[in-house]
Amino acid sequence: MQEPRREYERWLREFAADTDLKKELLAIAKDEAEIRSRFGEGLRFGTAGLRGRLGFGPARMNAYVVRRATQGLADCLLAGGDAAAGVAIAYDSRRFSRLFAEETARVLCGNGIRAYLFPHLAPVPLLSFAVRALGCAAGVVITASHNPKEYNGYKVYGRDGGQLPPEEAEAIFRAIEGHPYGEGRRMELEQAEGEGLLCYIAQELEDAYAEKVKALSLSPGLCRQMGAELPIVYSPLNGTGNVPLRRVLGEMGFMKLYVVPEQENPDPDFSTVGAAPNPEKPEAYALARALAERVGAKLVLATDPDADRLGCLAQDKQGEFHVLTGNQIGCLLLNHILSSRSAAGTLPPNGAVVQSLVSTKMPEKIAARYGAQVFEVLTGFKFIAEKIEEFEKSGEYAFLFGFEESYGYLAGSFVRDKDAVAAALLLAETAAAYAREGLSLWEGLQALYAEYGHFAERTVSKEMRQGEEGRQAVAAIMAALRAEPPKALGGRAVLARRDYLSCLRTQSAPQGGEKGEERLKMPPSDVLYYEMEGAWACVRPSGTEPLIKFYAGASAKGQAEAEGLVAAILRDLSE
């Protein structure tokens, strides 16, 4: 860790020509706590890249941090011989997103690496598609996903269009650490364009992506038939989903798509969405709910600013709207995909569904009915992308659908990250299928529970202090749980525990017997998982924020029983 005051003074001295930086840093000259927060250490580059509050200093998101990160990325591409393939760059509607995207392009071009830059806002799935379609060595998205307005981030993608695996992220981090802030070869955009190093991505690529998404439809005729009379409200939450999602749904026949006017256009302040532009949160839907009531819509869709996550409201028979969880949306989509393909005779005998290990277990029952196999992976969509790649190389399984509980879904393999645009089309189609039977999406969900049993899941996040103190607190919690593993949670005996750091599954010993151990076939990760009869729990640190997350899930004959068991498990874990 560097000495904060000395680093603060170095930034003031070396970047004195930057009047905005000078003004901001002089304003905190006597605030030692703020100086420690900004200059005690830098943002760490991980599998999700960089993410932090906007502002000046190594622990904030600013142009100097972006330049340094890009120089590290450029070093790795040059060392690996991948520079000729180039890098695709996209950005969302947050403050300084375009500036950071252009700084990324300038540094890449300054290193002789071709940059393919979107000329306007573009969502994560379109960037992932572009990396694959253009044959790029990497991709960068400037976004902080669904974080509050004060944040921005720098997300790096690999050649496959998926987020970086841990070893590649670590290599870039080491390369970044070899450069001081302010260092980096840069080229002016006009010069880079003139020399053919900067290329603006053409509309034809977006057209190709839209056609691929539309081809995912399982019932185009149903979309045209029911879409003409099914009102749907949509909010892009002032982000990147507005243009691509409206285009796809409109061209597929959903003619009664009402967009929340206050949240239609980019707004870096996200002034009407509550604390954050997060489609998981009920407050983000206040305006959309009001519009739905005015136009008689039973379904509301919302995408986060980089349009990789999709959330929704569904109305019940009493007219009440419910915010569906990511698990509920995932199960609705999975059931629609499997049942539709089964009816059409296009369901492969080796179909595979991939989900994160902290997601609901309901897909196991749905998939079993249709003869599909469910695979669990670590949290992070990059691991779902790796499974798709594995299936394609081996030919052993055919990928059908992937999802994680944090509102991320993927059908098709032309994108290798969460795709809210494609998910919105399939969810609208699912709603249309239920509407043809006289049911709302909410009633369709209840029908699934009646068929497969009631499932409940919940996540609780415990926020720590920023910086090293927060990391130590998280590490202490994980160490304590490893030192004294819980024997029971929520009144249910822990039958087995999995430690993904040691890659061991330990079965609890029967009375007078011996514990059994087996190796877990997953990469090491700081995750603890507990198996119980009809229930499970998981604990893991967040990869992007100073948080520790507690997950729990259960199934039971009734929803109240399942939810009660989940609450009891989480209560025991937190204690």
CA distance 223 to 354: 26
Question: Looking at this protein, which amino acid is placed at residue 378?
Answer: L
Maximum separation of any 2 CA atoms in the chain, in Å: 77
Sorted by sequence, the CB contacts under 8 Å of residue 575 that are 6+ apart come out as none
3-state DSSP of 165-230: CHHHHHHHHHHHHCCCCCCCCCCCHHHHHHCCCEEECCHHHHHHHHHHHHCCCCCHHHHHHHHCCC
Contacts of 346 (CB under 8 A, 6+ apart): none
- Helix ranges (H only) for 302-412 are 326-344, 362-370, 381-394
Q: Pick the catalytic residue: 97, 145, 340, 356?
A: 145
> In one letter, which amino acid is 146?
H
Q: Report the first-to-last Cα separation within the chain, whole angstroms.
A: 32
**Is 145 designated active site?**
yes
Residue 18, Ramachandran bin (φ over 0: left; ψ between -120 and 50: alpha; else beta): beta
**Can you tell me the distance from the alpha carbon of 84 to that of 267, in angstroms, rounded to the nearest whole number?**
36
Q: Is 272 helix (H, G, I), strand (E, B) or coil?
A: coil
Q: Are strands 492-493 and 516-519 parallel, antiparallel or unpaired?
A: unpaired
Token pair belonging to 375? 């695979």
Of 16, 52, 22, 23, nearest to 37 (Cα)? 52
Q: Are the C-beta atoms of residues 131 and 356 closer than 8 Å to each other?
A: no
Which residues have C-beta within 8 Å of that of residue 53, sequence separation ≥ 6? 60, 61, 150, 151
Tokens 């000078």 correspond to 22
Give 54's DSSP letter. Answer: B
E runs forming strands in 368-478: 373-377, 398-404, 408-410, 454-463
Which positions are annotated as active-site residues? Answer: 145
